[in-house]
A and B are shown apart, each in its own frame.
Chain A
């Protein structure tokens, strides 16, 4: 079946450090891939998405590239800020269905 695996947290970084959160998936067909973010005390928000192989999603300095050959969608940011502290969820959606399948979430804590 379809599944998403992301690196375990918590991840603790200093401000301006480089961030990578790994995400790999198992799916039939050609799913769409998403990163959602949950800031403390807030609801889930879409951060970025990619709908086909080699697409790059980007938003707020974050990027992720849909790599079909490695079934990966790693999240990166060149210079994190304290305000990026949140829980990040990688997810996939099969184009034949509606439901999102989420990874377990990675908590990021950025220290000044």
Chain B
């Protein structure tokens, strides 16, 4: 079956512009996660959705970052007024219903964001 998909695969933007990154999880997966991978910081958690609600958004680095999920499926991560330090690969993952702590997370290919 189809895996987690993300779009766009690459995004180049100018400092100060807003960007939207999209994630389509595996069908039927109730949990959805956003992470980012950067050279200086490694792999960092951003936000976690269970259905359409976000019980853990502790990893969002500033109020310029927001995310939503609709219909228990697609999620959008929005970064407003982008800064150069936002340059990273943004990864989305989803996991099936079950014990959240033990469930495997399936990762998408990522969106590489470059802020000039």
Residues of A at the B interface (CB closer than 8 Å) are 31-32, 34, 36, 42-46, 49, 51, 89, 93-105
Partner of A102, one of B42, B95, B108, B110: B42
Interface size on B (CB < 8 Å)?
26
The answer to whether B31 has its CB under 8 Å from any CB of chain A is yes
Chain A neighbourhood of B91, CB < 8 A: 43-44
Contact segment of B15-23, B43-51, B67-75, B78-86: B43-51
Chain B neighbourhood of A98, CB < 8 A: 31, 33, 48, 50, 55-56, 95, 100-101
The answer to whether B59 has its CB under 8 Å from any CB of chain A is yes
Partner of B107, one of A31, A44, A93, A95: A44
B42 touches A105 (CB 8 A): yes
B104 touches A49 (CB 8 A): yes
Question: Could you list some 5 contacts between A and B, CB below 8 A?
Answer: A43-B108, A51-B101, A94-B101, A95-B100, A103-B42
A43 touches B45 (CB 8 A): no
Q: Closest A-chain residue to B106, C-beta based? A: A46
Q: Closest A-chain residue to B59, C-beta based? A: A99
Contact string against A for B residues 5-36, beta-carbon threshold 8 Å, 1 for contact and 0 otherwise: 00000000000000000000000000101010
Q: Closest A-chain residue to B55, C-beta based? A: A98
